[in-house]
Protein backbone atom coordinates (compact mmCIF):
# COMPACT_ATOMS: atom_id res chain seq x y z
CA UNK A 1 0.00 0.00 0.00
CA UNK A 2 2.76 2.47 0.96
CA UNK A 3 4.79 1.46 -2.07
CA UNK A 4 1.84 2.12 -4.35
CA UNK A 5 1.40 5.60 -2.83
CA UNK A 6 5.08 6.35 -3.39
CA UNK A 7 4.84 5.28 -7.02
CA UNK A 8 1.76 7.45 -7.54
CA UNK A 9 3.43 10.42 -5.82
CA UNK A 10 6.58 10.11 -7.95
CA UNK A 11 4.50 9.75 -11.11
CA UNK A 12 2.47 12.86 -10.28
CA UNK A 13 5.64 14.87 -9.53
CA UNK A 14 7.24 13.79 -12.79
CA UNK A 15 4.08 14.66 -14.69
CA UNK A 16 4.02 18.11 -13.08
CA UNK A 17 7.67 18.65 -14.01
CA UNK A 18 7.06 17.69 -17.63
CA UNK A 19 4.02 19.95 -17.89
CA UNK A 20 5.84 22.90 -16.32
CA UNK A 21 8.85 22.49 -18.61
CA UNK A 22 6.60 22.26 -21.65
CA UNK A 23 4.70 25.37 -20.57
CA UNK A 24 7.87 27.46 -20.24
CA UNK A 25 9.32 26.58 -23.65
CA UNK A 26 9.86 29.65 -25.79
CA UNK A 27 8.63 29.91 -29.33
CA UNK A 28 11.09 28.91 -32.00
CA UNK A 29 13.14 31.77 -33.39
CA UNK A 30 12.98 32.51 -37.12
CA UNK A 31 14.47 29.76 -39.23
CA UNK A 32 17.70 31.50 -40.19
CA UNK A 33 19.05 35.01 -39.74
CA UNK A 34 21.49 37.14 -41.69
CA UNK A 35 21.02 35.35 -44.99
CA UNK A 36 22.28 37.72 -47.64
CA UNK A 37 21.81 35.56 -50.75
CA UNK A 38 19.39 32.83 -49.77
CA UNK A 39 15.73 33.45 -48.98
CA UNK A 40 14.81 33.67 -45.30
CA UNK A 41 12.10 31.05 -45.66
CA UNK A 42 14.41 28.35 -47.05
CA UNK A 43 13.72 24.87 -45.70
CA UNK A 44 16.21 23.06 -43.49
CA UNK A 45 16.65 20.38 -46.14
CA UNK A 46 17.43 22.87 -48.91
CA UNK A 47 19.89 24.80 -46.74
CA UNK A 48 21.63 21.58 -45.72
CA UNK A 49 22.03 20.59 -49.39
CA UNK A 50 23.56 23.96 -50.23
CA UNK A 51 25.88 23.90 -47.22
CA UNK A 52 27.00 20.32 -47.93
CA UNK A 53 27.68 21.23 -51.55
CA UNK A 54 29.71 24.27 -50.47
CA UNK A 55 31.62 22.18 -47.96
CA UNK A 56 32.46 19.57 -50.61
CA UNK A 57 33.64 22.31 -53.01
CA UNK A 58 35.94 23.71 -50.33
CA UNK A 59 37.38 20.27 -49.60
CA UNK A 60 37.97 19.60 -53.30
CA UNK A 61 39.69 22.97 -53.70
CA UNK A 62 42.17 22.05 -50.98
CA UNK A 63 43.29 18.88 -52.77
CA UNK A 64 43.42 20.18 -56.34
Domain boundaries, the chain: 2-63
Rounded to an integer, what distance in angstroms lies between the CA atom of residue 33 and that of residue 40?
Answer: 7
Longest Cα–Cα distance of the chain, Å, equals: 74
Reported in sequence order, the residue ranges of the chain that DSSP labels E, i.e. its strands, are: none
Contact 42, 33 (CB under 8 A): no
Contact 42, 31 (CB under 8 A): yes
Q: Is the pLDDT of residue 64 over 60?
A: no
Predicted pLDDT at 4: 92
Short-list 26, 59, 23, 29, CA closest to 51: 59
Predicted pLDDT at 62: 58
Q: What is the pLDDT of residues 18-63, one digit of tens each?
A: 988 887 777 766 666 665 777 878 888 998 888 888 877 666 555 5
Amino acid sequence: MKTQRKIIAVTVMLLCMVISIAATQKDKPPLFKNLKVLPKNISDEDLDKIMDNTKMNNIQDQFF
